[in-house]
C-alpha cells in the first residue's frame, strides 16, 4: 500500500500527517478527526477508497493527540483558533490548493468553523459527518437521549452532570451504556485494529476544549454556536449521520435547513456515531458518489 507519512512544524510543535495513494489523480480528500483529542486512526478504514477511487486521502492527528505533539500544561492552546491555524498550516505546507473536506464529529465542527470564519479558497465540497452546529442543542439532545436509557442509568448520568462527578465506577458504567447505544462499541476480537489501537493520553486537550462530560460542553467550545453562520458555506455540502447517533436527526435537520448551498443529507439506518464503521459500504457509496459528482462538474 502506497502511504506517505511525515511531520509538519507548527508553532514550535509538530503535526503528524498520513497520505494514502499520494499519486492519485482525483482531487484529494482531507479528513478531520473527532475529539478534540481523538486521532486519525479510525479513518484508516477508508484507506481502500484512496485506491478504489484513484484519490489521495490525507489524514492527520491534530495537535494535542495521537502522533502529533501533546504539550502538557498549556491550556491556552486548546481553543478553536489553534486547530484552525494548524489546518491552515497543513494545507500550506502540503500545498493542498484544491481539496474536498470531510469532518467527523468534532472534525465536522472544525470544518464548519474553518469554512464560516475563514472563507478559504479551494474547497470543492465538505462532508459533515455525525457532527453539530450548536453546542447548546447538542446538550439538549444528549439529555433527551439519556432519558431513553433505563431509569437507573438516567438517574446516575443526570446526577453526575449536576455534581460534575465522573470518576465513580457506577458513573463510568453508565457512560459506557450511553456510548454503546449512541457512540460506538463494545468492541471484540473481530474489531479492526485501527479502531482498538491504544491512543496516547489526550486528556488535557479534550477536557479543556470540551469538558469532563460528553453530554454537556463546559470547556472553551461551550459557546460554539454556528447554526446561524451556516449560510456562509458556499461549497456543496453532504451531511451523513446515523439513525441512533448522538448527532441526532434533529441536529442534522437543523443544520440541513440552515445551509443554503447545494446540499444533501443521508441517514445510515443501522448506525450510531461511527457511521463509516457500522455501515461501511453504504457510507463509502454516499461518499464516493458525492465526491465524483462534484468533480464531474
Helix, strand, coil content of the chain in percent (nearest 5): 45, 20, 40
Catalytic site residue from 133, 245, 247, 266: 245
Catalytic site residue from 33, 40, 266, 273: 273
Question: Please, are residues 245 and 130 in contact by the beta-carbon 8 Å criterion?
Answer: yes
Question: Please, are residues 120 and 114 in contact by the beta-carbon 8 Å criterion?
Answer: yes
Catalytic site residue from 68, 105, 129, 130: 105
Query: Residue 191: CA atoms inside 13 Å, Cβ hemisphere, count?
Result: 15
From CA 3, how far away is CA 47, in angstroms rounded? 9
Place of cell 490548493: 97
Is 266 known to be catalytic? no
Is 245 known to be catalytic? yes
Question: Please, are residues 43 and 31 in contact by the beta-carbon 8 Å criterion?
Answer: yes
Burial zone of 224 (CB within 10 Å; 0-12 exposed, 13-18 middle, 19+ buried): buried
Q: SS3 of 252, please? A: helix
Alpha helices by DSSP H, listed for the chain, are 47-52, 80-93, 106-118, 135-147, 151-163, 169-182, 193-196, 203-209, 249-258, 275-278, 280-295
Q: List, by residue number, the catalytic residues.
A: 105, 245, 273
Amino acid at each position: 500500500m502506497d502511504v506517505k507519512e511525515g511531520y509538519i512544524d507548527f508553532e514550535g510543535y509538530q503535526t503528524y500527517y498520513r497520505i494514502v495513494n499520494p499519486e492519485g489523480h482525483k482531487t484529494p480528500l482531507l479528513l478531520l478527526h473527532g475529539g478534540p483529542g481523538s486521532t486519525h486512526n479510525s479513518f484508516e478504514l477508508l484507506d481502500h477508497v484512496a485506491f478504489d477511487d484513484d484519490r489521495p486521502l490525507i489524514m492527520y492527528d491534530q495537535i494535542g493527540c495521537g502522533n502529533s505533539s501533546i504539550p502538557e500544561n498549556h491550556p491556552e492552546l486548546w481553543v478553536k483558533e489553534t486547530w484552525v491555524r494548524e489546518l491552515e498550516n497543513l494545507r500550506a505546507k502540503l500545498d493542498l490548493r484544491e481539496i474536498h473536506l470531510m469532518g467527523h464529529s468534532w472534525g465536522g465542527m472544525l470544518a464548519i468553523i474553518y469554512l464560516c470564519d475563514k472563507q478559504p479558497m479551494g474547497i470543492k465540497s465538505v462532508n459533515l459527518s455525525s457532527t453539530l452546529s450548536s453546542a447548546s442543542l447538542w446538550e439538549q439532545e444528549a439529555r433527551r437521549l439519556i432519558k431513553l436509557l433505563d431509569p437507573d442509568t438516567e438517574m446516575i448520568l443526570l446526577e453526575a452532570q449536576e455534581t460534575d462527578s465522573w470518576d465513580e465506577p457506577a458513573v463510568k458504567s453508565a457512560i459506557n451504556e450511553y456510548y454503546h447505544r449512541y457512540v460506538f462499541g463494545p468492541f471484540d476480537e473481530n474489531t479492526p485494529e485501527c479502531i482498538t489501537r491504544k491512543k496516547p493520553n489526550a486528556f488535557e486537550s479534550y477536557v479543556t476544549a470540551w469538558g469532563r462530560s460528553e453530554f454537556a460542553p463546559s470547556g472553551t467550545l461551550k459557546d460554539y454556536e454556528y447554526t446561524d453562520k451556516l449560510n456562509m458555506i458556499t461549497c456543496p455540502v453532504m451531511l451523513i449521520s446515523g439513525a441512533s447517533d448522538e448527532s441526532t436527526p434533529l441536529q442534522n435537520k437543523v443544520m440541513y435547513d440552515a445551509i443554503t448551498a447545494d446540499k444533501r443529507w443521508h441517514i445510515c439506518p443501522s448506525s450510531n456515531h461511527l457511521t463509516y464503521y457500522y455501515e461501511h459500504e453504504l457510507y463509502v457509496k454516499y461518499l464516493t458518489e458525492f465526491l465524483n459528482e462534484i468533480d464531474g462538474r
